[in-house]
Homo-oligomer: A and B are copies of this chain.
Amino acid sequence: MNYEHFIYIADLLGVAVFATAGALAAQGKRLDILGVVVLAIVTSIGGGTIRDITLDIHPVVWIADTTYLWVAIISAVVAFVVCRYMQYPRRLLLVLDAMGLALFTVLGAEKAMALGFSPVIAVMMGVITGCAGGMIRDILTGQIPLILQRDGELYATCSIVGAVFYVAFYDVLGEQFLALVGMAIVFVVRLATIFANLKLPEFIVAGHTLEDMDKGQNQ
């Protein structure tokens, strides 16, 4: 498997994972199957679309290759059907979201670096590609964006850490190895964050004393 194939498959996997997460997020929202498909598509291609439009890459990835759309549609339909007959643990949504975040962060940064943009732009594109889809999903489903929820505290941080790592070692490590390590970093840090949030509430409180300051000052 050469590098182009690797990137392509990782990209489709990211779409499948985010589309499934999008479909799961639709639960209890009174959406029918087509509504779920729309939500899944927006979640899975939203980030890449914003990246391509901002970088003036046309046609946008899923317009150039409709495989992306079909993967999103099929993933959403499968998730919708499976959810009706099986129970799934709530945490599955978070794990899928973490996988999508990991894949898309690195793929977003990779695309910008490959096109010769500067490192800081590449990091931005990694964060946009990784985080935007999930944010749009959360906004459309009327939830507090995952980025701001308790267990989402370090959401953008995980993405930035992975993107910075990827960019920093871009010319040093082999491209495929680098991409895999970058993805692993985002995924592991993200899962660790979710776990840490459940176990270390004191850390959060200590880190946000400014919150109380603000309250005392203004109310």
Whole-angstrom CA separation of A120 from B69 in the bound complex: 8
Taken residue by residue from 179 to 219, chain A's Cβ proximity to chain B (1 for < 8 Å, 0 otherwise) reads as: 00000000000000000000000001001111101111110
Number of A residues whose C-beta is below 8 Å from B?
65
What residue in chain B is nearest A124 (Cβ atoms)?
A: B69
| Contact of A160 with B by CB under 8 A | yes
A-B contact pairs, 19 of them (CB 8 A): A27-B214, A28-B210, A30-B153, A31-B156, A32-B154, A34-B154, A53-B54, A69-B124, A87-B213, A87-B214, A87-B216, A87-B217, A88-B217, A89-B217, A89-B218, A90-B218, A135-B140, A139-B139, A140-B147
Q: Are A145 and B150 in contact (CB under 8 A)?
A: no
Q: Is the CB of A35 within 8 A of B140?
A: no
CA–CA, A217 to B66, complex, Å?
A: 36
Min CB gap A4→B, angstroms? 22
State whether A208 touches B148 (Cβ < 8 A).
no
How far apart sit A207 and B32, CA to CA, in the bound complex (Å)?
Answer: 8
A9→B159 CA distance, assembly (Å): 31
CA distance A59 to B214 in the complex (A): 39
Chain B positions within 8 Å of A29 at CB level: 148
Given A31-B148, A38-B156, A140-B148, answer yes or no on A56-B54 (Cβ-Cβ < 8 Å): no
CA distance A140 to B144 in the complex (A): 8
Residues of B within 8 A of A63 (CB): 54-55, 117, 121
A70 interface residue (CB < 8 Å to B): yes
Q: Known: A87-B213, A214-B28. Is A70-B120 also a contact (CB below 8 A)?
A: yes
Is A2 positioned at the interface, with any CB of B under 8 Å from its CB?
no
